[in-house]
Amino acid sequence: MVKNSSETSVTHWQGQLALTFDWKAGRTRLARQEARVPLAFQKPFYPEGGEICHGTILHPSGGIANDDRLVMGIALENDARVLLTTPGASKVYGSAAGAIQTVRVSLAEGAAMEWLPQETIVFDGAQIQSELRVFLERNTSWLSWDVLRFGRSGAGERFAAGHWKSATEIWQNGRPLWIDRQLLAGGSPLLETAFGLKGQPVMGTLVWIGKAVDQDTLDRCRQCGTYGHAEAEFAVTRLEHGLVARYLGASTANARRCFVAIWRILREVMFHRPLCPPRVWNT
């Protein structure tokens, strides 16, 4: 069932999206959908067969502004497998003042999810709070990445005012597996210092939580940094039940190239499945 509402404030959006996926007769299905503009979900695709459902989350209004509130809830029932992405770069406009985006995900036993949005551009002056909370049961797999560009650096813009605040939490059966909170203020010395962004406009984080990663797989993932520019910094750290990769550089394309290389390795080693990039990335 789809619910759409066009009732919006003249000053901000109150967007909502709720998706539930289940597993029936060897196929992952979209079992429930509720949407309120400006958020929407494109129809399911199955480029890998019925086991994995690919989908695209849409934001037709073009970006986050004013004091927008965007809330997404995604649930995977037992054994469902889903890959979600976005059709292009997300934008947080300079007019955003106290905007909030919240994503809550729950994975039931045996479920697997790949959360692979395209990059986010945080304009100078933007004020945005982004929250991602993931709740896992047993034998689940969670892969996500987040690539951010601070300021439209290609046009010479710097992130001189505003702030970006982020909170990512991944829990399994009430136990925290990965907690990452960050705050970056426009014009802050952290944009330039050696223990901050070192003058680079792009940073990215990839997290995979599923099971322990062996040394050979870890070493292969660490070699994926060679896909970036020489001036970029790239590191991969083993977690108790997965790994985390960080990128710092000048190019969102190179950040994604590094992360896609890790994604390829994890798919092959953990699931014996080849890479299948969403077709929307090619449009």
Q: What is the pLDDT of residues 12-27, one digit of tens each?
A: 789 999 999 999 999 9
Q: State the pLDDT at residue 241.
A: 94
Q: How far is CA 75 from CA 20, 112, 137, 174, in A?
A: 5, 11, 12, 17
Q: State the pLDDT at residue 2.
A: 41
Q: State the pLDDT at residue 227.
A: 65
Q: State the pLDDT at residue 8.
A: 37
Q: How far is CA 79 from CA 26, 37, 41, 225, in A?
A: 9, 30, 21, 32
Q: State the pLDDT at residue 123.
A: 96
Q: State the pLDDT at residue 10.
A: 43
**pTM value surpassing 0.85:** yes
Distance from the Cα of residue 85 to its chain's centroid: 8
Low-confidence ranges of the chain (pLDDT < 50): 1-10
Domain extents for the chain?
14-282
Q: State the pLDDT at residue 62.
A: 72
φ/ψ of 236, rounded to 5, equals -130, 130
